[in-house]
Chains A and B, each alone.
Chain A
């Protein structure tokens, strides 16, 4: 299995505070992704990266920003958290050749 870790694994925060989630992969994968998982919606793509400093928006990008300064790290930032951003966040990575995407264990975020 690809080595993908996420931190923190659980976080409780208050509305209006900034939050940063970290994804770290050790497979030298070029592509990395952030998804959110909500009941009835499956996983929806927030942002993705196709290389260092190269990122683009996904389906549900409003209220989120990302950064990728190194191949192995992909950060997701909620600039000002809202209750609608309470969710489980998954990071994934792959080589970009439409083979398997490898997923991290997820971060459970609760915004009060």
Chain B
């Protein structure tokens, strides 16, 4: 089956620190990969995505590169802000297999001033 594994949180960083949240996947086919973010008290919203190997998704200073050889899609940001405090979810959709997202367990990020 398909699955997504994320590093367990919480991840606590000081403002302006470098962020990495690891994400690896297993899939029976060829997936598209996503990062969603959930701010406190809100629903999820798409942060970035990549649809094929070596694609880099980017948004709001966050980046993730689709690495087929290591089945990974790690999220990075060079300098986090307090406003980045949220829960981050890695997810996949199998191409040509409908639109059902498979999510990782989520990683809570806390950024301190």
Q: Which residues of B contact A96 (CB under 8 A)?
A: 99
Identify which of residues 18-69 in chain B touch chain A, using a CB-to-CB cut-off of 8 Å.
Answer: 32, 36, 41-46, 49, 51
- Give the number of chain B interface residues (Cβ < 8 Å): 22
Complex CA–CA separation, A92 to B93 (angstroms): 15
Contact of B89 among A33, A42, A102 (CB under 8 A): A42
Measured CB to CB, the closest approach of chain B to A67, in angstroms, equals 19
Complex CA–CA separation, A1 to B95 (angstroms): 24
Q: Known contacts A42-B103, A44-B103: does B46 contact A100 (CB below 8 Å)?
A: yes
Task: Report the tally of A-B residue pairs with Cβ distances under 8 A.
Answer: 50
Q: Which residues of A contact B105 (CB under 8 A)?
A: 40-42
Complex CA–CA separation, A68 to B101 (angstroms): 20
Q: Do the beta carbons of B43 and A98 come within 8 Å of each other?
A: no
- Give the number of chain A interface residues (Cβ < 8 Å): 25
Q: Do the beta carbons of A98 and B93 come within 8 Å of each other?
A: yes
Q: Known contacts A103-B44, A103-B45, A106-B43: does B32 contact A98 (CB below 8 Å)?
A: yes
Identify which of residues 13-47 in chain A touch chain B, using a CB-to-CB cut-off of 8 Å.
Answer: 31, 33, 40-45
Q: Which residues of A contact B49 (CB under 8 A)?
A: 100
Complex CA–CA separation, A84 to B91 (angstroms): 24
